[in-house]
Amino acid sequence: MWREISFEFTSSGLHVAATEEALVLVEERLGQPIPQSLRSLLAESDGISAAYGMEIVWSAERILVENMSIREDVQFRDLYMPFDPLLFFGDNGAGDQFAFVRMPEREDVFVWDHETDSRNWISPSLENFLRSALGSGGEDWYR
């Protein structure tokens, strides 16, 4: 299904599929399951990029690195609300990051604004998120 969506948008780039071991490692290290929609996407393509330089969906490895980094940053603990309920999976190229809420588990997509620490709902599903992001012409399509 994910490849078909990306074929609709010639600006998108697919990657080699993530391994099951990589997906399990993300879940184990973060202590939370990857949403089923994101898991199935990563099993088809380990990330999705767009022509204008945005990594709409990060690779499994980058998902792990970025989430661990933001959760372990001592300065962020004083500046922002907790990040543990979120699973970041992509960004807009200018600092805002896209995430699923994992506590409680939800399948809709939110954006975290790095300047205001707001966490705003932007899409009811990963599929809708991808269609909107890939069909846009730039980094702030969700505003």
Q: What is the pLDDT of residues 53-83, one digit of tens each?
A: 677 899 999 999 999 999 999 999 889 999 9
Burial class (CB in 10 A: 0-12, 13-18, 19+), 80: middle
CATH superfamily assigned to domain 2-134: SMI1/KNR4-like (3.40.1580.10)
Residue 11 has pLDDT above 70, yes or no: no
Residue in the structure block whose two tokens are 């807009």: 92
Diameter over CA atoms, the chain: 43
Q: Are 110 and 95 in contact (CB under 8 A)?
A: no
Can you give the pLDDT at residue 24? Answer: 98
Domain boundaries, the chain: 2-134
pLDDT(4) > 80: no
